[in-house]
Amino acid sequence: MSVSGFELSLMRQSISDWQRLDELMTGAKTSLSTASTSGLPPSVQPAGALFLQRWAGFAGESAVIARGFADALTAASDDYLTTDDTVDQRYAELDGRLGPER
């Protein structure tokens, strides 16, 4: 379906892709946050813990960014649909008759 010159199906697919990325990054954050460094030699465990902590933070930030894009695209899509429906309704209300016959 085309709304005001853009394909709504493509917009919805983009929203779905960003939502899926949000879920993936949230899962990655959880996995990295709960990962153990016990399998590493004691001398490198602090570095391993810092590595996991930082990457969990990056994954969390990426999830927030992806959620923001999904929300913004959803809002834009809703606005486009509302505008298109309003214009369609107003055109339907137009009366083609002129003068006193209206």
Q: Are the C-beta atoms of residues 77 and 12 closer than 8 Å to each other?
A: yes
Percentages helix, strand, coil for the chain, rounded to the nearest 5? 75, 5, 20
For residues 45 and 79, give the distance between their C-alpha atoms in angstroms, rounded to a whole number. 51
Q: Please count the residues of the chain.
A: 102
Q: What is the CA radius of gyration of the chain?
A: 25
Angstrom distance (rounded) from CA 102 to CA 96: 8
Domains of the chain: which residue ranges? 29-87
Give 49-102 pLDDT, tens digit per residue. Answer: 999 999 999 999 999 999 999 999 999 999 988 888 888 888 877 776 666 665
Per-residue model confidence as pLDDT tens digits over 22-59: 999 999 999 999 999 999 999 999 999 999 999 999 99
